[in-house]
Structure 1
Amino acid sequence: MEMLDDLGDDVIGPRGLIKTRELVRIIIQCLYALGYSKSAACLESESGITCKSPEFELLESLILDGNWGECIECLHKINSLDDETRPSVSFLVLEQCLLECLDCGNISLALDMMRKQFSSLKIGAEIVHRLSYELLSLKGLRLGCIDSDSVQDLRKKLLSNLEKVLPPPITLPERRLEHLVEMAISAWVDGCVYHTSSDSVSLYRDHHCDRDQFPTETTQILTNHQHEVWSVQFSNNGEYLASSSRDCTAIIWKVYAHIVELDLSMMKYALVDLIPHRFRYKAGVIIASVPLKKLYTFVACWTYSPYKDARISCRRLQFRELTVAPCLRLLFPCSGSLTFVQDDNRVTLRFVLRSHEKPVSFVAWSPDNTMLLTCGNREVLKLWDAETGICRHTFGGDGFVVSCCAWFPDSKRLVCGSSDPKKGIYMWDCEGNEIKAWKGMRMPKVLDIAVTPDGENLISIFSDKEIRILNLATNAERVISEEHSITSLSVSGDSNYLIVNLNSQEIHLWDVTTKWIKPRKYNGHMQQKYVIRSCFGGLNSMFIASGSEDSKVYIWTRRSSDPLEILSGHLKTVNSVSWNPRRPQMLASASDDNTVRIWGPCRSNRAECDNFTE
């Protein structure tokens, strides 16, 4: 058998870009890292290629034997070490040598080695003085306190540190194959324009999301509002939707799944994935179904049992497993029909909130999804119980006009801004007790406000075209000035980015922490007269969606300033959009045509969308 070691610089792959020797070596490293030591050793023997280079194997032998003189000479002979790496590596070796010499009480030997070895390495005087000072500054060392086992442990630690410092090909970067594969997956995802799939990316095929998996079609029209709809927002768990209108009401909607029946009369077997999961329904409910050639993959609910004997039941499919395993895939005979839940994203009315005397301009869900804030237009702020639809508290009044609001991550505190410059910004608890206030005669009108999901920053936009980012821990403030009037603000789910809508028909993306000098800009939509609210959406907030005065919804990827999709359907200005944070293929939009539209993926077999009114 021809040894790969004799193949020189042979390459493989369709483009001839992969060096065979390098590939085999990082595969061996990966096998060792995964715990397959026998397989790795077998591959080393068969290929003639070792995970460790000959240079490093020699260093390893010398260090473990404590042969420090030859170790330094070996480092001196490695030509691939540059002038920066060689002193660093030498310092690590000499530090261990000095430690052992001092432990033995042989200080003269330690100093003699330092003088000779540094001289032979021809290191600059400045570096010699610095390293000498660092080595001789070791404190708290007691003679004879290091036993033989500890010495070997310290030498192994030294080798581990050298692996991180020495350059390839002497050593390999840690977990190199895993890093390369993750880079490939990241490149797939970054290049996937319509990436909305929450499933993990498989290595078995190149990743690609089709347009028909993207929310481009109207799946439902909600017509319960009697006037223009100004704001819409999904709850953080994606199970509720809130909308507010010029008709002085807000509505809480429920996002439901749809129960369907699956006929198994033409099937003989079903491939079942059994996954431990605490589920509120009885064991046996089928919660998903994916076609797999002639079989179906069912994801079945398993009520976890801490006992050795765990029973799994899927209606007619039953299995008794004697050991609790994290995941099982088994083939079952089947017949008849099985009920499962299809994720149909059907939205139904839950509560109509009638307490405001003026149009309701804005809604905001608490992070724990149990409460909803509604802002009256030039009116008060109200707190609602999302489970009962009852108003729990009214903030403001007596001339205090609330224009915007936001929640802190603990769902116990909220912040609101006033269009009255004398009022400024207030922080309250849910009982209406004032915690803190930012106000002053010179403070401009507050137009919109947000708290980053991590709770670290309070972000506000003002009538003087400024964005202010206040670090709540340090009180440090960053001010971003825009050239045009700002109408609305939205923050990404990871707290790293914010977007603002401008009446110059642009959306600007700014970072929250790293202080970009210029924003990324998105255009194509129409905004000159009205307040238009945009949002982040999709997986990892990689999309931006916005309403528009031309009655359309615009969607961009964060990487491109030109719209990816333009959704038509509304008849008048689209004021607000919201992307479901838990269902990346679901989008909602609110319009002056008195409707809320739900957008979802294209389905060729779907009937005409319903006008749903309760």
Structure 2
Amino acid sequence: MDIEFCKGNESIEIVRDYVHLLGRQSGDCGRQCSLTSGTADACDIWLVFVELLHCKMAVAIAGQEFTTKDAVCFQSSGFLTVGKKSSPAKLVMLTIFMNTCLCSGSPDKLEWFWGARVEMQQAHLEMQEQRTQGTHQNGVVVDCEEHKENVKKASMVNSQPSADESPNLTPVQYDAVRLVGQYLLELGLHRSVDLLMAESGCRLDHPAAAKFRQHVMNGEWAKAEADLIEISPFLKAPQDVTKMRFLLLEEKFLELAEEHRTVEALNCLRRELSPLGYNTERLHQLASWLMCGGGEELRQSASWSGRGQHSRSHLMEELQAFLPPAIMLPPQRLKTLLDQAIEFQCERCLYHNTSASVQSLPSFTLLTDHVCSKEQFPCETIQTLADHSDEVWFCLFSPDGRTLATGSKDTTIILWDVESESLTVRHKKTLDGHGYGVAYMAWSPDSRWLAACGSDESSEVWIWDAESGDLKVKVNQSPDDSLTCVAFHSCSTKFVTGGTKGQFYQCDIDGNIHDTWEGVRVRALWCKGDGKTVYAADTHHRIRGYILEDLRDFPVLQEDHAIMSLHVSSDCRLALVNVSNQGVHLWDLDNKALLRKFQGPTQSLYTIYSCFGGLNEAFVASGSEGA
């Protein structure tokens, strides 16, 4: 009996050509001529191959199964050692072994020679190309005029000219040409891509990968599955073939279901997807979608855009993740690099304060390095707010950026609506009744509640509904308290408050006090995102962390002078600490390290506040006692 091949006569022809070459090299022309006559079967070809190599090992012929034990024997014989050039003998061994394993349904047997996969596949494709071009191969001329014309058309993109015609490109230059070609292709400049590839001697994608992409985009699922076998040697791991096939068949299933071809979709699920034994949970989801009442319900349930180029392009992006860039470029790779270049230039620009990307082109140029001038930075007054009748002690934007709150010595809070286009504000509401003035305020993270504290003499915290302007509650534990600072937890329903007389409370939004910590003289507060940890700056020139529910505390940082105020970045990594007579200090909270000292601001008599601002909070703004 003959050895079985997964591609039938095609594989026999390939082996016959190799044996023909071996025969010429060994001088055994009589035997090799009989093989090229077309009368020899696979068993004869294999026996001649073994004889020509003087191979004494046991091989699987005459219908015997090619086992893993045989594979180990072949490997130990040295025939499969990979070098710069492998003999045809090695390639024949690899070809027969792969075909036999695939035919027998045992792809796991391929893992042991996975390192040789690329070499075998490249040699296989080169031989096919030589056959289709009608070149002389061991004295036999293969004539295929129709296919030669197709190859000639495809060569504009996929083939390389001779060494004396194409430029000698470095690897980086070669990659750059491919990236430019991909970008031109995305712009629809197909002829320009053809000329670029032909003149440079580059190819956009590997021919096998390009064919695979075309079949996927055309919805030719059977051909795309066959292409997987051809590109499988280039994959990082053998099991990636199963994952890619699952994605292909999933798209096929969804398209069949959308077209109400329920029987075919069910067959795809049962006979193609299920035997893969992969992602059972997803299989159950797919099966449930067969019950959808229509295409719209299916698309919504599957979060799928429907049959067409959009969904297939998304599928292709998922499949490309399994292929190395040398075989197929990642989608929109040049755009990604341009975005990175723009981002890098913006980070280096001292005064940059706006987002920029390739989408912002042509407003952003790549022809010169990006530099913002000082005049582009917001440093001019565009509006003066004069509605308060006395000193303004505190102002703060809401987290959603839609409202500005200003507190004054005149006992009122004014809420202002922010006009996003003109970057100006207009008077919205006035909240009054704060007998000791408004010295500090804090917004809840959801921008609904506004908490206000007075001066050192004040024993109350006022909680306002910022939307309606109604007073929610006043917290007043004792007339002897001095509640001068407040901060909300991330849930927006709890807050902490304290003062320099030693009070430290944790309350709910209705004003009920749940936890207390005695003896902490608090100057500033901030709540961590975990919903329970509170950072408190006290009169001992330090910041400590407190978990009031568990009555635990721990050190965070220590200064040499009095801490007047505290502000933390939105990512909870950096803290601005205003230190009496020392300026503003920037701390890394994670590593508890002092990063920088800003010496410009001055403060001695008054409490000065600082904050992060600008794009990505890249700037620091601080008040000062100076003019």
TM-score, reference length from structure 2: 0.50
Q: Is this contact kept in 1: 2:610–2:623, CA < 8 A? A: yes
2:179 counterpart residue number: 26
CA distance in 2 between counterparts of 1:234 and 1:459 reads 21
Q: Distance in 2 between matches of 1:494 and 1:236?
A: 13
In the other structure, the counterpart of 1:404 is: 485
Identify the residue that residue 126 of structure 2 maps to in structure 1. Answer: none
Residue 612 of structure 2 corresponds to 536
Report deviation, 1:165. Answer: 8.3
| Structure 1 residue 404: Cα displacement | 1.0
CA spacing shift, 1:31–1:433, aligned 2, 3 Å: farther
Match of 1:178 in 2: 335
- Percent of paired sites with the same residue: 29
Residues 374-431 of structure 1 show CA distances to partners (whole Å, capped at 9, x for unaligned) of 102232101223345443311124233322112234433322233343x3241322x1
Q: Which of 538, 558, 570 in structure 2 is aligned with 1:493? A: 570
Residue 414 of structure 2 aligns to which amino acid in structure 1? I
1:189 maps to which of 331, 346, 349: 346
- Residue 219 of structure 1 aligns to a residue whose secondary structure is coil
- What does 1:549-564 correspond to in 2, within 5 Å? 549-551=625-627
2:525 counterpart of 1:362? no
5+ unaligned residues in a row in structure 2: which ranges?
A: 1-155, 214-222, 246-269, 280-315
Which protein has the bigger strand share? 1
2:401 is paired with a residue of what secondary structure? coil
Q: Distance in 1 between matches of 2:392 and 2:601?
A: 19
**Secondary structure class of the residue paired with 1:22:** helix
Matched with 1:119 is none
The alpha-carbon deviation at position 153 of structure 1 amounts to 10
Larger fraction in helix: 2
Aligned to 1:432: 511
What is residue 407 of structure 2 aligned with on the other side? 244
Secondary structure of the residue that 2:612 maps to in structure 1?
strand
Distance 1:242-1:57 versus aligned 2 partners, 3 A rule: closer
Kept after mapping to 2: 8 A contact 1:452/1:458? yes
Kept in 2, the 8 Å contact 1:252–1:386? The answer is no
Change (3 A) 1:361 1:67: closer
Which residue among 361, 373, 378 is the counterpart of 1:203? 361
Distance 1:188 1:469, change over 3 A: farther
1:450–1:400 Cα change, 3 Å: same
Q: What is the one-letter code of the residue matched to 1:417?
A: G
2: distance between equivalents of 1:474 and 1:51?
Answer: 62
Gap change, CA 1:242 and 1:474, over 3 Å in 2: same
344-353 or 483-492, which deviates more: 344-353
244 and 451 in structure 1: CA distance in 2 versus 1, 3 angstrom threshold = same
User: Quick one: distance in 2 between partners of 1:532 and 1:506?
Assistant: 9
Distance 2:522 2:348 in 1: 39
- The change in CA–CA distance for 1:215 and 1:66 in structure 2 (over 3 A counts) is closer
Provide the residue aligned with 1:509 in structure 2.
586
- Measure, in 1, the Cα distance between the counterparts of 2:550 and 2:203: 52
Greater shift, 35-44 or 411-420, is seen at 35-44
1:232 positional shift: 1.4
- The one-letter amino acid paired with 1:415 is V
The answer to whether 1:375 aligns with 2:453 is: yes
Distance 1:197 1:400, change over 3 A: same
Give yes or no for the alignment of 1:51 onto 2:204.
yes
Q: Deviations over 1:277-303 (max 9, x none)?
A: xxxxxxxxxx97xxxxxxxxxxxxxxx
Instruction: Spell out the pairing of 1:252-401 with structure 2 (5 A cutoff).
Output: 252-255=414-417, 257=419, 343=422, 345-348=424-427, 350-356=429-435, 358-378=436-456, 379=458, 380-387=460-467, 389-398=469-478, 399-401=480-482
2:524, 2:537 within 8 Å by CA — same for their partners in 1? yes
- Structure-2 change in CA distance of 1:4 and 1:467 (3 Å): farther
On the 8 A contact 1:363/1:374 being kept in 2, the answer is yes
Distance 1:241 1:20, change over 3 A: same
**Considering only CA atoms, is the larger Rg found in Structure 1 or Structure 2?**
2
For residue 61 of structure 2, what is the aligned residue in structure 1?
Answer: none
Contact 2:434 2:454 in 1 (8 A): no
Q: Pick closer, same or farther for the CA change 1:168–1:457 going to 2, 3 Å.
A: farther
Equivalent residues of 1:196, 1:539 under 8 A apart: yes
The alpha-carbon deviation at position 516 of structure 1 amounts to 5.4
Return the alpha-carbon distance in structure 2 between the equivalents of residues 419 and 476 of structure 1. Answer: 20
Distance 1:405 1:37 in 2: 61
Q: Shift of residue 71 of structure 1? A: 8.1
State the 1:220 CA deviation. Answer: 3.6
Q: 1:150 to 1:498 in 2, by over 3 A?
A: farther
**How far apart are residue 535 of structure 1 and its match?**
0.9
Residue 41 of structure 1 deviates from its aligned partner by 7.6
Shift of 1:373: 1.4
Distance 1:165 1:377 in 2: 63
Q: State the match for 1:450 in structure 2.
A: 526
- Of 197, 211, 218, 2:381 maps to 218
Instruction: Report the secondary structure of 2:484's partner residue.
Output: strand
1:413 to 2:533 alignment: no
Q: Contact 2:539/2:563 (CA < 8 Å) preserved in 1?
A: yes
Deviations, residues 313-354 of structure 1 (Å, cap 9, x unaligned): xxxxxxxxxxxxxxxxxxxxxxxxxxxxxx161544731512
CA contact (8 A) 2:205 2:326 kept: no
Contact 1:503 1:527 in 2 (8 A): yes
Amino acid at match of 2:202: I
Q: Structure 1 CA distance, aligned partners of 2:484 and 2:427?
A: 29
1:9-20 → structure 2 map (5 Å cutoff): 9=168, 19-20=172-173
Q: Distance in 1 between matches of 2:508 and 2:209?
A: 62
- In structure 1, how many angstroms separate the alpha carbons of the residues matched to 2:273 and 2:398? 61
- Provide TM-score, normalisation by structure 1: 0.51
- What is the aligned partner in structure 2 of residue 117 from structure 1? none
Aligned residue type for 2:580: N
**How far apart, CA to CA, are the structure 1 residues paired with 2:439 and 2:413?**
12
* Deviation string, structure 1 residues 346-376 (Cα, Å, up to 9, x no partner): 54473151232x2432012334444321102
Q: Which has the higher contact order (CA 8 A, sep 6+)?
A: 1
Indicate the SS of the match to 2:464. strand
Given that 2:496 and 2:505 are in contact with CA atoms closer than 8 Å, whether structure 1 keeps it comes out as yes
Asked if the contact 1:64–1:152 (Cα under 8 Å) also holds between the matched residues in 2, the reply is: no
For 1:96 and 1:10, locate their aligned partners in 2 and report how far apart those are by CA, in whole Å: 33
Secondary structure of 1:184 counterpart: helix
Counterpart mapping for 1:520-599 below 5 A? 520-551=596-627
Q: In 1, distance between residues paired with 2:278 and 2:180?
A: 27
Tell me if the contact between 1:505 and 1:528 (Cα under 8 Å) persists in the aligned partners.
no
Aligned to 1:580: none
Checking the alignment, whether the CA contact within 8 Å between 1:9 and 1:20 is kept in structure 2 is no
